[in-house]
Structure formats: C-alpha cells, structure tokens
C-alpha cells in the first residue's frame, strides 16, 4: 500500500486495518511513505529490530499489537497450543531491541491482561488482548498531549529549540513526546522554530524529525550533529528538548547516541535541557544509568548508508545506539504528571508514590 507524501499529513505511525497491524516503514522515509502489514508476533519483532518502527513509545505499542496478533492467529488452537504459542510470541518480541523500556512495559501490561483472563476461552482472550493493545495506543496519545501541555509552558514565544533524534508522532502512537511539546507550544500560539540534529548514523533527525516539521509548516533547520556547539556558542539556541528510551531511578537518561554530547554543551552554554518522558519510560528497577542496557547495532550503519560505503572495508567499528546523560545535566523531566525539575531519586520516587 503506497501513498504520496501529500497524503501523509496526519501521521499514523501504527494503524489497525482489516484485522492486521500496519506500520509506516520508517526506513524509507522521507523518500517514500508506505505502510507494511504485519500478521504475527515474529513479524512485528522483526519490524522493531529492523527499525520499520522505532522510538520508545511506538515500539511499546507495536509490541502490544504483536501480542494481540499472535493471540488472534492462535484463536482456533487448543488451549495448550494457544498458551505455548502466545508465550513464544512474548519471548520473540522481548528479544527485538534492548534499550527502550517501553517495550518491556507494554509486554508486562499485555501479560497482566492475559493472566487476568485465564478462565476465558482463547477467542475471548484474543479479543480482549486486541482491546488492550488499542487502549495502550490511545493512552499513548493522551499522555503525549498531557506532556505537551506541561512542556509548552516551559518554552518562550519565539524560542529556538534544538532536538536530537526523532521523538515525534513517528516515535509514538501520535503527537510525539519532545516534538509533542513543540507541537503543543505552536498550538498555544507560540512562534517556535526547531533545530533538528541530523542524528548519525541512522539519521532520524534528518529523515524523520525534519519531515514531520515540514509537513506541518513548523519552521525547522537541519544541522549535522557536530554543529550544535557552534550554534549554542553564537546564542542561536534557547532550549533543548529530547525524548528518552529509559530513565533510571536516579534520573539518568538514556536516549539516542549523541544526546549526552548535546547535554554537556547545553550546560556549558547555560541552555535548559529538557527531557520529555512518559512515566512508562521510567524504570525504577534500574538504579542508575550505568545499568541501562545499551544496544550495539551493525557496523554497516557507521561505515556507510544504504548502498554507499564510505569507510575502509575491514575497519573496526563501534555503534552504540544510545548513550546516558547523567541526571545532573537534566534541567527537568516533562512527564504527563507534571514537570520534575532537577530529577533525582527522591522526586522520581515521588511521582509514583500516589
């Protein structure tokens, strides 16, 4: 199913159509806008691993739909085959990518729903799991809107806002986290302009963030990652807003590789560094950033892009996909429950106390 860019105005990263999950193929944006169709958990896991869908909340939503698809696929099976097949579906989805905790959060929630339905028929369980996946996706948009409202208040009219990677509608079920804050500020009448880091090596900033902003006529300027310091030193950036894949109990923030560099620069230049962070991205089981699993991806992502290889064959490569920004560099977390200035163990624990 192909669509032209002009038809892509309302970005629906994931959609349920004709009994199947469809996801925008984010690997080929912005050159092509097309949906791929998914029929079972293993296919969805591969879609997550290969980055058809990416961004922490979107990965969580995709995983929830992966469980629902697997349950629906097995709805005619015996109880034993259903249980074993669904369990295998959970395992394959959990192994798709390691860093974004939203994946594991969504799987835990789907497992909880499954366990609460043990006395029902497999058909009833499958239907209920689909409803749960729909609710996870719908809730994600509501949460992003709430974060947007809280975060928009932090941005002054006329602010020039740097962001890294893509934490937009494409990274969520809609509206976005970091870009959701920007969208909400624009909706509130503020004149915001965006500076998008290109985000080597997967180019989420150049390919996805710039595309989302251009679609909505929100002023956006694309820079390569190594230009951020220069612009900050010239007074051309007023605030940084990024998303996150996992926040540890002490407030350390894992996000796309290069985020730490931006945070250090922001501190050097006295620029506020905000992290848009749904509560589902906070992992209280991880004491600090050192314990967050960091995905290492293929060398080919660094030695070239698509069909073009620019580095010498055989060169040794490192490709950590995420880094950790220490909590002390974070001006505030923007959550759906409100803004948490200077996050630390105590104020993060307080978020979950009620």
To ligand MRU, the closest distance from the beta carbon of 11 in angstroms equals 13
Beta pairing, strands 273-276 & 239-242 = parallel
- With tokens 């869908």, the residue in question is 53
Q: Is 204 in the site for ligand MRU (CB under 6 A)?
A: yes
Nearer of residues 113 and 144 to ligand MRU, judged by Cβ: 144
To ligand MRU, the closest distance from the beta carbon of 280 in angstroms equals 11
Q: Is 207 in the site for ligand MRU (CB under 6 A)?
A: no
Enter the DSSP assignment of 156: P
Write phi, then psi, for 75 (nearest 5 degrees): -65, -20
Q: Is 55 in the site for ligand MRU (CB under 6 A)?
A: yes
Site for ligand MRU in 117-176 (CB under 6 A): 165, 167, 171-172
Which residues in 18-43 are b (16+ Cβ under 10 Å) and which e?
eeebbbbbbbebbeebebbebebbbb
Nearer of residues 245 and 252 to ligand MRU, judged by Cβ: 245
Among residues 174, 243, 251, 289, the one that binds ligand MRU under rule CB under 6 A? 243
To ligand MRU, the closest distance from the beta carbon of 95 in angstroms equals 16
Among residues 177, 250, 280, 303, the one that binds ligand MRU under rule CB under 6 A? 177
Among residues 21, 29, 38, 54, the one that binds ligand MRU under rule CB under 6 A? 54
To ligand MRU, the closest distance from the beta carbon of 282 in angstroms equals 13
Size of residue set near ligand MRU by CB under 6 A: 17
- Tabulate helix, strand, coil % of the chain (nearest 5): 45, 20, 35
Quick check: 256 and 321 in contact, CB under 8 A? yes
Q: Is 335 in the site for ligand MRU (CB under 6 A)?
A: no
Among residues 13, 209, 250, 255, the one that binds ligand MRU under rule CB under 6 A? 255
Nearer of residues 130 and 277 to ligand MRU, judged by Cβ: 277
Which residue of the set 140, 245, 283, 323 is catalytic?
Answer: 245
Which residues in 278-302 are b (16+ Cβ under 10 Å) and which e?
bbbbbbeebeebeebebbebeeebb
Nearer of residues 225 and 245 to ligand MRU, judged by Cβ: 245
To ligand MRU, the closest distance from the beta carbon of 5 in angstroms equals 21
Nearer of residues 51 and 126 to ligand MRU, judged by Cβ: 51
* Cβ atoms within 10 Å, residue 108: 14
Contacts with 328 (C-beta within 8 Å, 6 or more apart), sequence order = none
Site for ligand MRU in 88-117 (CB under 6 A): 100
Enter the DSSP assignment of 250: T
The contact mask relative to ligand MRU for 313-332 (x = CB under 6 A, - = no) is: --------x-----------
Nearer of residues 204 and 303 to ligand MRU, judged by Cβ: 204
To ligand MRU, the closest distance from the beta carbon of 303 in angstroms equals 18
235 exposed, middle or buried (CB, 10 Å; 0-12, 13-18, 19+)? exposed
Q: Is 13 in the site for ligand MRU (CB under 6 A)?
A: no
- How many angstroms separate the CA atoms of 223 and 198, rounded? 6
Cα–chain-centroid distance for residue 125?
28
Instruction: Examine the residue annotation and report whether 245 is marked as an active-site residue of this protein.
Output: yes
251: left (phi over 0), alpha (psi -120 to 50) or beta: left
Tokens describing residue 293:
């699993």
Among residues 223, 256, 280, 323, the one that binds ligand MRU under rule CB under 6 A? 256
To ligand MRU, the closest distance from the beta carbon of 257 in angstroms equals 8
Quick check: 22 and 35 in contact, CB under 8 A? yes
Quick check: 14 and 65 in contact, CB under 8 A? yes
**Residues within the interface to ligand MRU (CB under 6 A):** 54-57, 100, 165, 167, 171-172, 177, 204, 243-245, 255-256, 321
């Amino acid at each position: 199913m192909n669509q032209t860019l002009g038809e892509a105005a309302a970005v629906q990263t994931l959609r349920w159509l004709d009994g199947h999950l469809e996801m925008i193929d984010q690997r080929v944006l912005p050159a092509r806008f097309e949906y791929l169709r998914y029929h079972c958990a293993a296919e969805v896991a591969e879609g997550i691993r290969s980055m058809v869908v990416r961004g922490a909340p979107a990965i969580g939503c995709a995983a929830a739909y992966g469980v629902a698809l697997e349950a629906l696929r097995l709805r005619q099976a015996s109880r034993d085959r259903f249980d074993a097949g669904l369990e295998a579906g959970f395992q394959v989805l959990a192994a798709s990518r390691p860093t974004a905790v939203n994946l594991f959060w969504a799987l835990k929630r789907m497992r909880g729903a499954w366990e609460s339905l043990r006395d029902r028929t497999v058909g009833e369980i499958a239907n209920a799991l689909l409803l749960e996946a729909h609710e996870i996706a719908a809730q994600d948009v509501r949460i992003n809107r709430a974060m947007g409202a809280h975060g928009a208040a932090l941005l002054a009219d006329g602010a020039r806002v740097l962001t890294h990677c893509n934490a937009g509608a494409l990274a969520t079920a809609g509206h976005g986290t970091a870009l959701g804050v920007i969208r909400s500020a624009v909706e509130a009448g503020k004149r915001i302009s965006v500076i998008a880091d290109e985000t080597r090596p997967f180019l989420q900033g150049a390919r996805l963030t710039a595309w989302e902003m251009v679609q909505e006529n929100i002023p956006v300027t694309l820079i390569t990652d190594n230009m951020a310091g220069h612009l900050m030193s010239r007074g051309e950036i007023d605030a940084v807003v990024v998303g996150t894949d996992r926040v540890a109990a002490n407030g350390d923030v894992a996000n796309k590789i290069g985020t730490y560099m931006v945070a250090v620069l922001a501190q050097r230049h006295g620029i506020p560094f905000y992290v848009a962070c749904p509560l589902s991205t906070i992992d209280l089981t991880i004491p600090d950033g050192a314990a967050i699993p960091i995905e290492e991806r293929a060398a080919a992502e660094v030695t070239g892009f698509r069909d073009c290889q620019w580095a010498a064959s055989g060169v040794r490569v490192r490709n950590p996909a995420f880094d950790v920004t220490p909590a002390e560099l974070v001006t505030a977390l923007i959550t759906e429950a409100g803004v948490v200035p200077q996050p630390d163990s105590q104020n993060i624990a307080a978020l979950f106390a009620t």
